[in-house]
Structure 1
Amino acid sequence: MPGRSVVVRKAGWIASGAAAVLVATGGITYAVTQGDGSADTPSADSADAGFARDMAVHHQQAVEMSFIVRDRTKDEDVRLLAYDIAQTQANQRGMLLGWLDLWNLPKVSSKPPMTWMDMGGMASGEDGALMPGMATNTEMEKLRKLSGKQAEIFYLQLMTDHHKGGIHMAEGCVERCEVKVEKDIAQGMVNAQESEIGLMSDMLKERGAKPRS
């Protein structure tokens, strides 16, 4: 299959890039703890805290979807992509929650998700979709029941939507957050997820499908 090696190379490049970002930012926790000169410790209602809380939840669903599809298909390209996404977002989630601990801030808020982006009233949480791009409970259950090519296509479509929502949130942090290292990581999320959206579009095309939006 001509496109297969291209997909593998692109997936490997994205994974290597993500790993490099994590290695290069090994001092991020220290920088956030000690301060980088750009901001004081964020408040509980700040964009910095809101992004950390909300993106941790957003990432958790991506990790869950990725592990589901790895059990529902034997396609090595999809399994590799799912593994890369799960590992990268699990690591980033741990970092986001770690920042909240270091800032002595709660990991949950009484305010609706996305309030830090002035979108609290828009995040209805209908059927479990708490934030932009998140899959509903019904969609997650459907993914668990599919297998083979059908599972691959549905996962790629769900993850494309998920990444688009994540990019919107990360761009919000780049614009609103005050802690420089957090802004830098948010921009890294934008760059990596835009690349993965392109890869997933190619993978969907190979399977005779396309993104849902």
Structure 2
Amino acid sequence: MATALQDPPVEERTGPAEASRSPRALRYLTLALAALLLLGVGWTAATLVAGRAPGENSPEAGFARDMSRHHAQAVEMAMVAYANGQDPAIRQIGYDMALTQQGQIGQMQRWLQEWNLLPTGSRPAMEWMPDGITVDNNGLMPGMATREQITQLHEAQGAEVDRIFIELMIKHHIGGVHMADGVLKASDRPEVARMAEAMKLSQQKEINELRKLQQASS
């Protein structure tokens, strides 16, 4: 699958300013994200186990719904970093992150379809978490940025894009890892466990990379 995706911009051919702001490059990423979402719908049918599907109020359903929303914000921020970031490393991280998390959204939405559940439910966000942690005073799940912070990222330029993205995404990923840990405690479904473990691995790796870039720029 990876070979079908457009490679990220190459500095030697375009230069950092042109590569980071190329509408054509951003269009390629948008198309790739759409393709991954469609492919994700087909990936998980073979992974579902036999037996009773998770119910409306199950931790699996809560995780799939809440993490899809959580991931959607990460994809939005990652696309801004890919399009407008100054550091090539930040643009690469944004590119990889957007593709990975959009694919995972597709898989989680497929679960809900297979379980005959709607993409959204009636229960409050994070109510499924075993440790009782819910949303904050802004109604946001752990690590999520406010709309004001997202707007600030969209409006930033140059190195300020990199700085804001690193700061917001480290916090966002820490919250995502916490949610993955929560469903690993609450669910015994193999496909959910595999997804949660993959999320933890990739997000912790990106946290470490972002912290190194943050230290290097300080």
Q: Aligned partners of 1:31 and 1:121: how far apart in 2?
A: 29
1:120 to partner: Cα distance: 7.2
Determine helix, strand or coil for the equivalent of 2:106.
Answer: helix
Moved more, 174-183 or 131-140: 174-183
The residue aligned with 1:147 is: 157
Whether 1:111 aligns to 2:127 is no
Tell me the alpha carbon deviations over residues 21-68 of structure 1, each in whole angstroms, 9 at most, x when there is no partner: xxxxx8642121xx25xx621001001111000000000000000111
Q: Aligned partners of 1:111 and 1:104: how far apart in 2?
A: 16
1:114 to partner: Cα distance: 0.2
Match of 1:138 among 140, 148, 153: 148
Q: CA RMSD in A?
A: 2.0
1:124 to partner: Cα distance: 4.1
Superposition pairs of residues 90-109 of structure 1, within 5 angstroms: 90-109=102-121
CA, structure 1 residues 87+205, in 2 after alignment: closer, same or farther (shift >3 Å)?
same
Q: Aligned partners of 1:94 and 1:125: how far apart in 2?
A: 29
CA contact (8 A) 1:112 1:121 kept: no
CA contact (8 A) 1:125 1:131 kept: no
Match of 2:178 among 155, 168, 182: 168
The residue aligned with 2:68 is: 56
Q: 1:182 is aligned with what amino acid?
A: V
Whether 1:66 aligns to 2:78 is yes
The percent of aligned pairs where both chains have the same amino acid is: 34
CA contact (8 A) 1:111 1:120 kept: no
Determine helix, strand or coil for the equivalent of 2:119.
Answer: coil
Whether 1:159 aligns to 2:169 is yes
1:118 to partner: Cα distance: 5.2
Match of 1:195 among 199, 205, 213: 205
Give unmatched runs, 5+ long, in structure 2. Answer: 1-41
TM-score normalised by the chain length of structure 2: 0.76
CA, structure 1 residues 125+93, in 2 after alignment: closer, same or farther (shift >3 Å)?
farther
CA, structure 1 residues 194+49, in 2 after alignment: closer, same or farther (shift >3 Å)?
same
Q: 2:108 is aligned with what amino acid?
A: L
1:106 to partner: Cα distance: 1.3
Determine helix, strand or coil for the equivalent of 2:204.
Answer: helix
Tell me the alpha carbon deviations over residues 74-103 of structure 1, each in whole angstroms, 9 at most, x when there is no partner: 421111000000000000001001110111
Number of paired residues? 178
4+ runs deviating over 4 angstroms: 118-121
CA contact (8 A) 2:71 2:101 kept: yes
**Relative contact order (alpha carbons < 8 A, sep ≥ 6): 1 or 2 greater?**
1
